[in-house]
A and B are shown apart, each in its own frame.
Chain A
Amino acid sequence: MVIERRWKKWVFFYIPLTVFVIGTLFPFYWMLVTAIRPDAELYRSWRAVNNAPFWTLQPTLENFRDLMAKTMFPRWLWNTFYIAVASTAISLACGLLAGYALARLRFPMAGALGTSIFVTYLVPPTLLFIPLADIIRDFQLGNTPWALILTYPTFLIPFCTWLLMGYFKTIPKELEECARIDGATRFGAMTRIIFPIAVPGILSAGIFAFTLSWNEFIYALIFLSSPERKTVPVGVVSELIRGDIYFWGQLMAGALLGSIPVALVYSFFVEYYVTGLTGSVKG
């Protein structure tokens, strides 16, 4: 080990790390404090003498109650959830099959296809949203959940394919060859030998895809118009701000509740998520 003096450890390690932790987590703490603060306390001038901004004197759940009862927030949560699950499922199915084909099978144009899927991976949604809105309208999908369930895979499939392809390449070919010698078909060897082994990879890709769909904003903003169809990010932006007035207590309550499901999924599968994240940038 490299030996280090005590003061050095404080200056070069503990203090910077603490600053990082506080900087990273403070906005979340701030969300919470704002969400449980009564309006009278919230809108007090920043120079007021009795102002105590870092905690609240009379915590209240008023903002959460209003959010759940007076807005369609529960509906948005449900919309976001099932759209994320459905688009993740579609992307995983496509990514599994395509990833397997690209990793294991020999066919003409395999290299070109792999490269073009990689390139679509790098196409940002903001490049295509204007023509895509028109196409969605032509397909009569505007303002339906299908508009999102079918378009989210455009940025999820390339990622899932890429990640799972990398995963399949780490599985020894011999496993499949053994199964084939024992009489399994190619398709059978794929579904019954390789896919079960790839479950950790599938979980990583799935968790990562789920958080990406939960986070998506621009397509949901443009393709959905009725309030009861919206997802959490769009609902919060467009329905909780009336005119120019921001209801900060409710907004922060919404931001907090809208983050909790995805944070929970993440906390249960941290390791898988991290594998997905680091795998997403590796070839």
Chain B
Amino acid sequence: MKNPIAGGAGSAARVEVALPHPGTVQRRAFERLLENERLLAFALLTPTVVLLGVFIAYPFVMGVWFSLSSISVGNPGEFVGLKNFVKAWNDSIFRTAFWNTTFYTFWATIFKLALGMWLALLLNRHFRGKRLVRASMLLPFIIPTVLSTFAWRWMFDPTFSVLNWTLYKSGFIVTKLPFLSNGDWALWCAIAVNTWRGMPFFAITLLAGLQTINTDLHEAASLDGANGWNRFWHVTWPLLKPVTVVVVVFSIIQTFSDFQLIYVLTGGGPANSTHLLATYAYQIGVATGLLGEGAAISLFMLPVLFVVVWVQLRYLRRLEGA
């Protein structure tokens, strides 16, 4: 009989296990086979490796092949070399989309980091209703992006915008602001919505980092005469840097590959001025059916993602080494 913890409670309840019956014998043989460390590791990893192999590695290889061929819906296509990539590069909408993606990622990440850090510092203090406030701050991150983006789209509505109403009534504007009807405005609106959605993720992860910092350090610094800013800059920030790097990397990947927010908020419009790489790849690859060109457009994300992941892996290694 196997008793998991020597002298543990509940041994009386397990007596029946000791009675031999056919199922147990078979099970024993199976478990004995798994005594081999390598065999067990193989068995445990197989489901994961198969699933990721079939639905990530295989599509990735297919995607590379697609991008080098003229495949479209209902037409297997043939090898065309780098033609799709060259075509995309010479396409003005693609260039806009590429530029938008970079711009969108850059500013949204900066805002998320700055505001998230600020919010984390506020939430790290003691006040009444702290748990409730902290829990409710994560709501934008929990609620499906598509659904909350609809609320924003309604708030930016050209005719019925509540934001325009508020600004008008309070005397800041005399004509309505073209939130989503002007390309530049629309991209900034998308950045704002992305910041609203992603900022809680920064705040809560940074807050978790803040809570590991020993308050004695702050006490000591303030005894030495350091003011609030100095305490942040010389005590908090250096200790928070590792977790910040990781969060920023995650956020860059998510933002750079964003699809749903733009799809709902602007649909790439007005006049294709707010496309991101993912929404443009969708438009070419799925809506138009040019699978090869669509795959090539989404593969343009790869170099950037690669650099970001590489930086992350190197940074983690260096931390472990230090």
- Asked if A186 and B59 sit within 8 Å, CB to CB, the answer is no
- Asked if B154 and A34 sit within 8 Å, CB to CB, the answer is yes
CB distance from A76 to the nearest CB of B (A): 12
Size category of the A interface is 35 or more
CB distance from A90 to the nearest CB of B (A): 8
Give the residue of B62, B176, B247, B281 whose beta carbon is less than 8 angstroms from that of A281.
B247
Does A16 belong to the interface (CB within 8 Å)? yes
Does B165 belong to the interface (CB within 8 Å)? yes
CB distance from B278 to the nearest CB of A (A): 4
Closest chain A residue to B251, Cβ basis: A281
CB distance from B65 to the nearest CB of A (A): 8
- Asked if B51 and A150 sit within 8 Å, CB to CB, the answer is yes
- Asked if A107 and B259 sit within 8 Å, CB to CB, the answer is no
Per-position contact with B for A15-59: 1 when CB-CB < 8 Å, else 0?
A: 011001101110110110010000000111111000101100000
Closest chain A residue to B137, Cβ basis: A24
Interface core residue of A125, A218, A252 (most chain B CB under 10 Å)? A218
Bound together, the chains give a CA A205 to CA B267 distance in angstroms of: 33
Bound together, the chains give a CA A34 to CA B154 distance in angstroms of: 9
Per-position contact with A for B262-303: 1 when CB-CB < 8 Å, else 0?
A: 011000000000000110011001100001001100110110
Does B38 belong to the interface (CB within 8 Å)? yes
Assuming the A-B contacts A2-B222, A21-B133, A218-B259, are A188 and B45 also in contact, with contact meaning beta carbons closer than 8 angstroms in the complex?
Answer: no
Chain B residues near A106 (CB-CB < 8 A): 37
Assuming the A-B contacts A46-B159, A97-B47, A127-B63, are A263 and B143 also in contact, with contact meaning beta carbons closer than 8 angstroms in the complex?
Answer: yes
- Asked if A252 and B52 sit within 8 Å, CB to CB, the answer is no
Closest chain A residue to B246, Cβ basis: A281
Assuming the A-B contacts A127-B257, A134-B62, A267-B135, are A178 and B5 also in contact, with contact meaning beta carbons closer than 8 angstroms in the complex?
Answer: yes
Chain A residues near B247 (CB-CB < 8 A): 281
Chain B contact residues, majority secondary structure: helix
Per-position contact with A for B183-227: 1 when CB-CB < 8 Å, else 0?
A: 000000000000010001100110010000000001100100000
Chain B residues near A101 (CB-CB < 8 A): 40-41, 44-45
Per-position contact with A for B6-50: 1 when CB-CB < 8 Å, else 0?
A: 100000000000000000000000111011011011111101110
Give the residue of B41, B136, B145 whose beta carbon is less than 8 angstroms from that of A217.
B145
Assuming the A-B contacts A94-B48, A127-B299, are A184 and B2 also in contact, with contact meaning beta carbons closer than 8 angstroms in the complex?
Answer: yes
- Asked if B6 and A178 sit within 8 Å, CB to CB, the answer is yes
Does B237 belong to the interface (CB within 8 Å)? no
Chain A contact residues, majority secondary structure: helix
Bound together, the chains give a CA A215 to CA B285 distance in angstroms of: 23
Does A259 belong to the interface (CB within 8 Å)? yes
Give the residue of A95, A107, A211, A236 whose beta carbon is less than 8 angstroms from that of B150.
A236
Assuming the A-B contacts A97-B44, A182-B2, are A132 and B137 also in contact, with contact meaning beta carbons closer than 8 angstroms in the complex?
Answer: no
- Asked if B162 and A17 sit within 8 Å, CB to CB, the answer is no
Bound together, the chains give a CA A28 to CA B144 distance in angstroms of: 12
CB distance from A72 to the nearest CB of B (A): 16
Give the residue of B43, B152, B281 whose beta carbon is less than 8 angstroms from that of A27.
B152
Chain B residues near A47 (CB-CB < 8 A): 165, 168
Closest chain A residue to B291, Cβ basis: A130
Chain A residues near B45 (CB-CB < 8 A): 97-98, 101-102, 113
Bound together, the chains give a CA A93 to CA B260 distance in angstroms of: 29
Assuming the A-B contacts A127-B305, A217-B260, A282-B246, are A132 and B55 also in contact, with contact meaning beta carbons closer than 8 angstroms in the complex?
Answer: yes
- Asked if B305 and A278 sit within 8 Å, CB to CB, the answer is no
Bound together, the chains give a CA A241 to CA B260 distance in angstroms of: 16
CB distance from A189 to the nearest CB of B (A): 8
Chain A residues near B309 (CB-CB < 8 A): 119, 122
Does B148 belong to the interface (CB within 8 Å)? yes
Chain A residues near B49 (CB-CB < 8 A): 113
Bound together, the chains give a CA A13 to CA B31 distance in angstroms of: 59
Closest chain B residue to A35, Cβ basis: B151
Taking CB atoms and an 8 Å cut-off, the chain B residues in 93-149 that contact chain A are 115, 118-119, 122, 125, 127, 133, 135-140, 142-148
Taking CB atoms and an 8 Å cut-off, the chain A residues in 178-221 that contact chain B are 178-179, 182-189, 192-193, 211, 214-215, 217-218
Taking CB atoms and an 8 Å cut-off, the chain A residues in 70-89 that contact chain B are none
Closest chain A residue to B260, Cβ basis: A217
Give the residue of B44, B165, B299 whose beta carbon is less than 8 angstroms from that of A98.
B44
- Asked if A182 and B3 sit within 8 Å, CB to CB, the answer is yes
Does A166 belong to the interface (CB within 8 Å)? no
Bound together, the chains give a CA A102 to CA B152 distance in angstroms of: 43
Does B182 belong to the interface (CB within 8 Å)? no
Chain A residues near B122 (CB-CB < 8 A): 13, 16-17, 20
Top-9 shortest CB links A-B: A124-B257, A131-B62, A126-B278, A255-B147, A233-B146, A101-B44, A97-B44, A98-B48, A107-B41
Enumerate 17 A-B pairs (CB-CB under 8 Å) in ascending A order.
A13-B127, A24-B200, A28-B139, A45-B160, A46-B161, A90-B51, A107-B38, A107-B42, A122-B253, A123-B56, A135-B59, A185-B35, A251-B150, A252-B154, A270-B135, A277-B201, A281-B250
Q: Beyond A25-B139, A217-B145, list 7 extra A-B contacts (CB 8 Å).
A: A53-B165, A120-B56, A123-B56, A126-B281, A193-B5, A214-B144, A273-B142
